Chain A
Amino acid sequence: MPNYQWPDVGKRKVIGKRMSRVDGPAKSSGRAKYTYDIVRPNMLYADSVKCPYAHAKVTKIDTSEAEKMPGVAAVIQVHYPEDKANGEVFWAGTDIVAVAAVDEPTARDAVRAIKVEYQQLPHLVLDFKEPDLAEAQNSEWYKVASKETSGDPVSAFQQCDVTHQGHYGSPVITHCCLETHGSIAEWPDSDHLLLHISTQNVPGIGGDVGKALDLPAANVRVQQQHVGGGFGSKLGLDPWGIIAGQLSKKTGKPVKMMLDRKPELEMAGCRPSAYARVKVGAKRDGTLLAWESYSWGSGGPGGGGSPPLPYVWKIPNQQKQHVSVVNNIGPARAWRAPNHPQACVLTMCALDDLAAKLNMDTFDFVKKNIDLLDPRSKIYSEELDVADKLMGWKARWHPRGDKTVGPVKRGLGLALHTWGGGGHDSNCDLSIHPDGSVEVKLGTQDIGTGTRTSILQVAADTLGLRVADINLLIGDSDYPRDSASGGSSTIGGVSSATLKAAIDARDELFAKVAPALNAQPGELESVDGRVRVSASPNRSVSWKEACSKLGAQTITKRGSHQRNQDVDLTNSGVGGVQMADVSVDTETGIVKINKMVGVQDCGLIISPEQAESQVLGALIMGVSYALYEEKIMDQTTGVMLNSNMDTYRLAGLGDVGELVVHLMTGPGYDERGVIGIGEPPTVSPGAAISNAVANAIGVRVPYLPMTPDRVLEALEKSEGEGGRA
Chain B
Amino acid sequence: MSDQNDAKGSGISRRSFLKISALTTSAPLILGPTVLEVAGEEVQVFGPGKVPVTLNVNGQRLTANLEPRVTLLDALREEFEVTGPKRVCDRGLCGACTVLMDNKTVYSCSLLAIEAQGKKIVTTDGLAPDNQLHPVSAAFVDNDAQQCGFCTPGFVMATKAFLDKHPNATREEIHKGLGGNFCRCGTYAGIKGAVAQLSKGNQLRGARPVPGKTDAPDSAIASNGHPRKGGA
Residues facing A in B40-85 (CB within 8 A) are 67, 69-70, 74, 77-78, 81, 83-85
What's the nearest-Cβ distance from chain B to residue A592, in Å?
11
Contact of A104 among B74, B125, B137, B192 (CB under 8 A): B74
Docked pose: A26 CA to B149 CA in angstroms: 9
Contact of B190 among A36, A231, A616 (CB under 8 A): A616
Docked pose: A16 CA to B144 CA in angstroms: 16
Contact of B86 among A24, A178, A466 (CB under 8 A): A178
Contact of B146 among A21, A468, A656, A666 (CB under 8 A): A21
Contact A17 B89 (CB under 8 A): no
What's the nearest-Cβ distance from chain A to residue B27, in Å?
20
Contact B217 A29 (CB under 8 A): no
Which of A285-293, A301-309, A603-611 is the interface stretch? A603-611
What's the nearest-Cβ distance from chain A to residue B176, in Å?
7
Kindly state whether residue A277 has any CB partner on chain B within 8 Å: no
Contact of A467 among B88, B178, B186, B213 (CB under 8 A): B213
Which of B17-25, B29-37, B197-205, B223-231 is the interface stretch? B223-231
Contact A613 B144 (CB under 8 A): yes
Contact of B149 among A228, A258, A616, A651 (CB under 8 A): A228
Tell which of A231, A611, A656 has the most Cβ of chain B within 10 Å.
A656
Contact B215 A467 (CB under 8 A): yes
What's the nearest-Cβ distance from chain A to residue B7, in Å?
21
The residue in chain B whose Cβ has the minimal distance to the Cβ of A265 is B89
Docked pose: A472 CA to B212 CA in angstroms: 11
Residues of B within 8 A of A666 (CB): 224-225
What's the nearest-Cβ distance from chain B to residue A1, in Å?
30
Tell which of A650, A652, A663, A665 has the most Cβ of chain B within 10 Å.
A652
Kindly state whether residue B94 has any CB partner on chain A within 8 Å: yes
Evaluate whether A448 and B185 lie within 8 angstroms (CB atoms) in the complex, with A22-B214, A178-B96, A605-B223 already known: yes
Docked pose: A105 CA to B113 CA in angstroms: 14
Contact A653 B213 (CB under 8 A): no
Which of A141-149, A150-158, A365-373, A617-625 is the interface stretch? A617-625
Evaluate whether A178 and B91 lie within 8 angstroms (CB atoms) in the complex, with A19-B216, A617-B186 already known: no
Kindly state whether residue A14 has any CB partner on chain B within 8 Å: yes
Docked pose: A448 CA to B188 CA in angstroms: 14
Docked pose: A468 CA to B128 CA in angstroms: 22
Instruction: Report the contact-size class of chain A (Cβ under 8 Å from the partner).
Output: 35 or more
**Complex interface bits, A647-663 against B, C-beta within 8 A gives 1, otherwise 0:** 00011111011111111
Kindly state whether residue B156 has any CB partner on chain A within 8 Å: yes
Kindly state whether residue B161 has any CB partner on chain A within 8 Å: no
Contact B141 A261 (CB under 8 A): no
Tell which of A177, A231, A448 has the most Cβ of chain B within 10 Å.
A448
Kindly state whether residue B142 has any CB partner on chain A within 8 Å: yes
Contact B223 A663 (CB under 8 A): yes
The residue in chain B whose Cβ has the minimal distance to the Cβ of A452 is B213
Contact A650 B144 (CB under 8 A): no
Docked pose: A25 CA to B66 CA in angstroms: 32
Contact A228 B213 (CB under 8 A): no
Contact B141 A28 (CB under 8 A): yes
Contact A227 B89 (CB under 8 A): no
Residues of A within 8 A of B187 (CB): 613, 616-617, 620
Docked pose: A449 CA to B133 CA in angstroms: 22
Contact B150 A449 (CB under 8 A): no
Residues facing A in B119-171 (CB within 8 A) are 123-125, 127-128, 133-134, 137-138, 140-142, 144-153, 156
Residues facing B in A185-237 (CB within 8 A) are 226-231
**Complex interface bits, B207-224 against A, C-beta within 8 A gives 1, otherwise 0:** 000111111110011111
The residue in chain A whose Cβ has the minimal distance to the Cβ of B67 is A105
Contact of A19 among B74, B85, B147, B217 (CB under 8 A): B217
Contact of A28 among B152, B211, B225, B232 (CB under 8 A): B152
Contact A617 B185 (CB under 8 A): yes
Residues of A within 8 A of B15 (CB): none
Kindly state whether residue A250 has any CB partner on chain B within 8 Å: no
Kindly state whether residue B105 has any CB partner on chain A within 8 Å: no
Kindly state whether residue B8 has any CB partner on chain A within 8 Å: no
Residues facing B in A7-32 (CB within 8 A) are 13-14, 16-32
Docked pose: A227 CA to B91 CA in angstroms: 22
The residue in chain B whose Cβ has the minimal distance to the Cβ of A615 is B228
Contact B213 A229 (CB under 8 A): no
Docked pose: A679 CA to B190 CA in angstroms: 19
Contact A457 B140 (CB under 8 A): no
Docked pose: A120 CA to B140 CA in angstroms: 51
What's the nearest-Cβ distance from chain A to residue B82, in Å?
9
Residues of A within 8 A of B150 (CB): 34, 178-179, 228-229
The residue in chain B whose Cβ has the minimal distance to the Cβ of A228 is B150
Docked pose: A390 CA to B228 CA in angstroms: 11
Contact A20 B182 (CB under 8 A): no
Would you mind naming 14 contact pairs between A and B with Cβ atoms under 8 Å apart? Answer: A26-B149, A30-B153, A36-B87, A177-B184, A179-B86, A228-B148, A470-B213, A611-B223, A621-B184, A645-B89, A646-B91, A650-B182, A657-B232, A660-B230
Instruction: Apart from A28-B140, A178-B182, A653-B175, list 5 A-B contacts with CB within 8 A.
Output: A30-B123, A103-B67, A177-B148, A611-B223, A624-B186
Closest 4 CB pairs of A and B: A30-B84, A654-B175, A620-B186, A228-B150
